[in-house]
Structures are given as C-alpha cells and as structure tokens.
Amino acid sequence: MSDDTLKAFGKQLREVRKQKGLSQERLAELSDLHRNYPGRVERGGANPTLLAIVALARALKVRPSKLLEKLR
C-alpha cells in the first residue's frame, strides 16, 4: 500500500474524529485500541487492519466506508 493511501486514510480519520469532537486518546479508548494508535494512523505511520478500521468506525458511529471514501 502506498504512503499516499495511508496518509489519505489518516486525513479522513482525523476529519471525522474532529467532527465528532473526540481526542485521539478518547477515540482509542472507545475503539479499544492502544492510546497512540489513532495518532499513528492519522499521520500515515500505521497500516490499519480491517478489524481496526471497523473498530474506529464503530467508535466514531459511522460506517467503515465513511473512513474509506476519499481513497483512490
């Protein structure tokens, strides 16, 4: 997967998280992921698995496709 794809996913995750008024740490708590993980994903430094994408989407109360909609 290209760095551009990871960065685009991270940017979309950040936008949705901010729209929901959540901190990265709170998103991690709600999604039952390590507290540093959302920040790594948002910076494009982690390649999230399908399970992580679903966990993040559930925590944000959006469909997983919302987090993927700006990918090429």
CATH of the domain at 19: 1.10.260.40
H or E segment and range at residue 11: helix 3-19
- Tokens 């929901």: give the residue: 20
Q: How far is CA 62 from CA 1, 6, 33, 45, 50, in A?
A: 24, 19, 17, 23, 15
Number of domains in the chain: 1
Q: How confident is the model at residue 2 (pLDDT cuts 50, 70, 90)?
A: confident
pTM to 2 decimals?
Answer: 0.94
User: What digits encode the pLDDT tens for the residues 20-59?
Assistant: 999 999 999 999 999 999 999 999 999 999 999 999 999 9
Region for residue 32 given its phi and psi (left: phi exceeds 0; alpha: psi -120 to 50; beta: otherwise): left
Q: Could you give the C-alpha distances from 70 to 3, 25, 32, 65, in angstroms and in order? A: 14, 24, 25, 9
